[in-house]
Amino acid sequence: MVQEWPNCWSGRALMDLVGYSPKGYKMDLLRKTYVDEARWDCFKTVVNNSDKGFNAQGMNFKMSIERKGGCLSSLHLIRHRNKNILFIHGKIAEIPRKFVADLLLINELLQELSLWPMEVRFMYSTVYFSIVGLRAYLPVLGEDNVQLHGLPIDTPRNYQVGIIEAINNVGKRFTPKERREGIWNKVNQKTGEWIE
């Protein structure tokens, strides 16, 4: 749950870490995969024309039953007394990369809705949390912060090559000490941009 989604958040640092760009091929493909643009335009029109008192709107994403991986199924917006709560429903087979991609797409949609303040609640059915994928995030979270059942997780292995490569490329900007402490500490948590 994000109690107040920042309207200034760009996610630039997060995009760098997973090897995406805001208007790159992967993000365009993600939007085409999940968002029915006619339905989304209708949803925005209904929201803009609705009473500011109490109301609820919802929209389904394009999700197929047989698809593997991170899948957004629906979003629901509840508005009551100038409070906006957006529920995101979905299923996901692996964290972190696919969830990060969904997170970036949701941010793009929230910027288009432009309802602030906005509380966002993610309701995902998680098939598994990839321990191997988690190894890829050691440089991000910091070696001392990533453990499983109280034991440290080994260093990254040759899995999720793209994300490991992206993280390593970003890591070259920082000193060994900063990498040990975690690249995440170099991200402005309110904007998603790198701290200079």
| Residue that has been written with the tokens 């994000």 in this structure | 2
Is residue 58 over pLDDT 50? yes
Q: Which two tokens stand for residue 21?
A: 């760009």
pLDDT at site 87: 93
Does residue 138 contact residue 155 with C-beta atoms inside 8 Å? yes
The neighbouring-strand residues paired with 83 are: 80
| Residue that has been written with the tokens 């085409």 in this structure | 32
Mean pLDDT of 185-189: 82
Residue 187 DSSP class: B
Is residue 164 over pLDDT 90? no
Most confident residue range from 12-16, 22-26, 86-90, 147-151 = 86-90
Going along 23-134, which residue ranges are E strands? Answer: 54-60, 71-80, 83-92, 118-126
Most confident residue range from 61-75, 78-92, 129-143, 159-173 = 78-92
This prediction has a pTM of: 0.68
pLDDT at site 138: 61
Q: Specify the higher pLDDT residue, 84 or 136.
A: 84
Q: Specify the higher pLDDT residue, 11 or 181.
A: 181
Residue 50 DSSP class: S
Q: Which two tokens stand for residue 84?
A: 């906006």
Among the listed residues 6, 11, 3, 62, the one whose alpha carbon sits nearest the alpha carbon of residue 34: 62
Among the listed residues 157, 107, 109, the one whose alpha carbon sits nearest the alpha carbon of residue 131: 157
Is residue 36 over pLDDT 80? yes
pLDDT at site 159: 45
